[in-house]
Chains A and B, each alone.
Chain A
Amino acid sequence: MHKRQNSSHLIPFILGGVVLYFLSGMVDELRVYQGATIAVYVVAISSIILLTGYSGQVSLGNGALMAVGAYAAAVAHSSWKLPILVCFVIAVIAAALGGALLGAAAGRLSGPYLAGTTLALAIGLPSLANQFSILGGEQGLIFDVGFPPLSLGEDFTQYKWFFWIAALATLIMMWLLQNILRSRYGRNWRAGRGNEVAAQLAGINTARSKVLAFTISAGLAGLAGALLAMTIGTVSPSAFPLALSFSLLTGAVLSGVTTLSGVMIGAVTLVAIPEVADVVAHKLGTSESVTTNLPGLMVSALLIVTVLFVPNGPVEQHRARTAKKLAAKTK
């Protein structure tokens, strides 16, 4: 039964991949580029869902962990000239190590102190790169994954190549993550989140479980960071501002922080909002100051509305409603 469950998870992912393959041939460059960005957000938001939704820990520092992964990949590529695939793996490992350290430190901190430390991490860590010339300083390092192989044809654009790499990495990661969340480790996290004392009584080493959550979450964030570096072509401190960590949190809440199913919703919304805001602002013909601030306002307002009225996310909300209906029917 265990095996059947695994393979039944694999099929929809493969299906999804095939659909994306066909679609990427039909849309223009901008959409493909946005598609790559959405993939980045999917992985990054998943890292938050794992850490906060499943393991119950608040961290504002996933943006900084993305930076760690991105810089690791860029340094591996520019200084050691390693092939791209290896660079991505290095990104995951480097970030995971950072996450493990953070998780160990998090054992001493909790609640606001943890939030504060991760906040400071989010602001300070990227600027640290300025001080070391191997990290390229303020201008950063170039991360060029190179042109698509000629076997794919003349018309295969750079952005399509990004999209393919990102989509493939995302699908693989999501499949792996789904399996981890369903495994014993996932159950341990949810137990620890619900009631730490009860979990410990049940024999779960909650401290180790927490560190594991941080580590895997960081690894995901690192992959997202490397993918982001690929799409922008460079890594620099300004690519990972505090606003990024906030955006990820927003995306996680919009998706429903306790479940992986809605992660696309959060990722697409984050990419779509600036465009929608632009269109709205132009239709209304508003002044300069309104137009510039509309996207920010929409994201923040959406976040508030979601937390207030749909705190567990649209998917969970829908599930709860159907469960209620089902219960009512069976009465």
Chain B
Amino acid sequence: MKALQRRALLSATAVLAVVGLAATAIPAQAAEVGVSSTEIKLGMTLPMTGTASLGYNKIPGAAKAYFDYLNANGGINGRKVTLVVKDDRYVPTEAVAKTNELILKDKVMALLAPLGTANNKAVASSVNPARRGVPVLFVNTGFSGFADTKKYPTTYTVLPSYIMEAKIMGEYIKENFAGKKIGLLYQDDDFGTDALAGFKTAGVNFAVKVPYASGSQGAAAAAGWITKFKAAEADVVILFGVSSATSAMLGVAAQLKYAPQWMLGSVGGDATTIKLTGVPAGVLYNAIGFSPVPATTDMKDEYVKFFSDIYAKAVPGSAFDLNVLLGMNTAFMTAQALKAAGANPTRKSLMAAIDSKGATFANSALVPAAYSATSHVGLTGYWVGKYSPTGDLAPIGGTYVTYTTDSGSGAVVKSTYKRPAMPAKGLPN
């Protein structure tokens, strides 16, 4: 009898538990998911805390700053745009869990700028937003695979791919560092693998390649990396890691008086973020860097001026850096996509809008975007810059010279793209 009581307890607990959870279930919505008469809800996952969060955790604040400005000026056809942000600490399985929450619990209309190659891949295969028709807009990663519209039919890139970046780097090396020994620091996951593929296409041969385990980047590890680069006598060292890896590397290099020709990948190349960790500006001086959008210190650029003004009011005391510029730029493009999606936007009409009009969306980038009915590829190139004595990236020679290419075997060409003027008041028209 006691045995039966115990089993009954187990079953009863099971029933109670499920009923309890069921009782808090959320009722379904009738209209398009995430769209009400007053609001459009978007969701973002990225590292807000943790070893990889350095710099990137400013992105939500930046995007919200633009959306708040937009909402104060009528929103999108009278609807306010709200952004739900979840911290995934750069861990793929947490990204999956948080994205599930965004889709199932918060019921967002679309996912906006989720960050991280491995994270986005995990979400694509586990949460499968494609099968559920959830748009994944302007992913915050340069992984070239996301351009595959068969595998990722609802995903749109915005950043130039790592293969594009590697090819442009390779071209610059061929022109300026022929015959020198090249070293590479890369992350030991899909992000790094994509870069390696790009360098292979570009025909760059490395004297030394140092992979780092994602999450291990710190001063202790950096001392080991530098010892390896020194042993291989690298003349040029490419840093193709996240900001915390780049900062660790440069910080320790200063202590060890190691000063090769640095080349910083755009992912970890934001000068403001690096300097905030204590890296002296002198270390960055003369390093080579790349960016698809104007230099963040270029106040003559109308977009930079416009965005930094809004940001300074929304988040006073926070420095305007590349993460902020890219975050606000993406928000700006999103607003245009939502506007173009029509008076009653749906997930389908949103994606159709990007397909048909995305290439003409106004944005601060100095290179063209390649959205079309058959392509979900965003920006396609970079300008090459050098870091100034104060450690800020500026175009070599003072004028922007941009290069574009593709993620395949196409050549690297100098771009003749002329960026159209910013729409009035920075609002979608």
Chain A interface (Cβ < 8 Å from any Cβ of B) = 5, 8-9, 11-13, 15-16, 19-20, 23, 26-31, 33-35, 38, 127, 130, 137-140, 142, 144, 158, 232-234, 236, 238-239, 241, 260-265, 268, 272, 288, 292, 315
Supposing A23-B22, A130-B188 touch, asked if A232 and B11 sit within 8 A by C-beta, the answer is no
How distant is the Cα of A26 from the Cα of B49 in the complex, in angstroms? 37
Q: List 12 A-B contacts (CB under 8 A).
A: A12-B11, A19-B18, A23-B19, A30-B25, A30-B105, A31-B18, A33-B104, A130-B188, A139-B189, A233-B125, A234-B96, A264-B13
B7-32 interface with A by 8 A CB criterion: 7-11, 13-15, 17-22, 25-26, 28
**Whole-angstrom CA separation of A325 from B295 in the bound complex:** 77
In the complex, how many angstroms separate the beta carbon of A281 from the nearest chain B beta carbon?
13
Interface residues of B (CB under 8 A from A): 3-4, 6-11, 13-15, 17-22, 25-26, 28, 48-49, 87, 91-94, 96, 100-101, 104-105, 118, 121-122, 125-128, 188-190, 213-214
Cα–Cα, bound, A23→B22 (Å): 8
Bound Cα distance from A280 to B13, whole angstroms: 24
Known: A130-B213, A138-B190, A234-B126. Is A28-B11 also a contact (CB below 8 A)?
Answer: no
**B13 — which chain A residues lie within 8 A by C-beta?**
262, 264-265
Once the chains bind, are B118 and A232 in contact (CB under 8 Å)? no
A232/B104 contact (C-beta < 8 A), A27-B22, A315-B9 known? no
Q: Which residue on A lies nearest to B10, using beta carbons?
A: A261
Closest 4 CB pairs of A and B: A233-B126, A138-B189, A12-B7, A30-B104
Q: Is the CB of A264 within 8 A of B17?
A: yes
Least CB separation from A142: chain B residue: B125
In the complex, how many angstroms separate the beta carbon of A201 from the nearest chain B beta carbon? 30
A23 lies within 8 A of B18 (CB)? yes
The answer on a CB contact under 8 Å between A19 and B28 is: no
Q: By the criterion CB–CB under 8 Å, are B214 and A138 in contact? A: yes
Whether the pair A33, B100 counts as a contact (CB closer than 8 A) is yes
| Distance in Å: Cβ of A301 to nearest Cβ of chain B | 19
Residues of A contacting B49 in the complex (Cβ-Cβ under 8 angstroms): 292
CB of A268 within 8 A of CB of B213, answer: no
| Interface class of chain A by DSSP | helix
- Collect the chain B residues with CB atoms within 8 Å of residue A27's CB: 18, 21-22, 25
- Once bound together, how far apart are the Cα atoms of A137 and B105, in whole Å? 31
Question: Which listed residue, B8, B128, B188, touches A233 by the CB 8 Å rule?
Answer: B128
Closest approach, in angstroms, between the C-beta of A249 and any C-beta of chain B?
A: 19
Q: Is the CB of B14 within 8 A of A264?
A: yes
Nearest chain-B residue to A268 (Cβ)? B17
| Cβ contacts under 8 Å, B21 to chain A | 27, 31, 34-35, 268, 272
**Given A20-B14, A30-B100; 19 other pairs, CB 8 A cutoff:** A5-B3, A11-B7, A12-B7, A12-B10, A13-B11, A19-B14, A20-B18, A23-B19, A26-B22, A28-B25, A138-B189, A138-B190, A139-B122, A139-B189, A140-B122, A144-B125, A233-B125, A234-B125, A238-B93
B28/A232 in contact, CB under 8 A: no
Q: Which residues of B contact A29 (CB under 8 A)?
A: 104
Query: Which chain A residue has the least Cβ–Cβ distance from B101?
Result: A30
Beta-carbon contact of B6 and A261 below 8 Å = yes
Instruction: Quote the shortest CB–CB distance from B193 to chain A (angstroms).
Output: 8
A38/B3 in contact, CB under 8 A:
no
- Which among A15, A28, A35, A260 is the interface contact of B18 at CB below 8 angstroms? A35
Q: Complex formed: what's the CA distance from A26 to B96 in Å?
A: 25
A219 CB to nearest B CB, Å: 21
What chain A residues lie within 8 Å of B189 (beta carbons)?
A: 137-139
Chain B residue, CB-CB nearest to A318:
B9
Least distance between A156 CB and chain B CB atoms (Å): 14
Cβ-closest chain B residue relative to A262: B13
Closest to A241 in B: B91
In the assembled complex, the Cα of A264 lies from the Cα of B105 at a distance in Å of: 23
Contact A236 B93 (CB under 8 A): yes
Contacts of A234 in B (CB 8 A): 92, 96, 122, 125-126
Assembly CA distance A261 to B128 (angstroms): 36
- In Å, the complex CA distance between A137 and B122 comes to 13
Q: What is the CA–CA distance of A263 and B17 in the complex, to the nearest angstrom?
A: 12
- CA of A239 to CA of B213, assembled, Å: 16
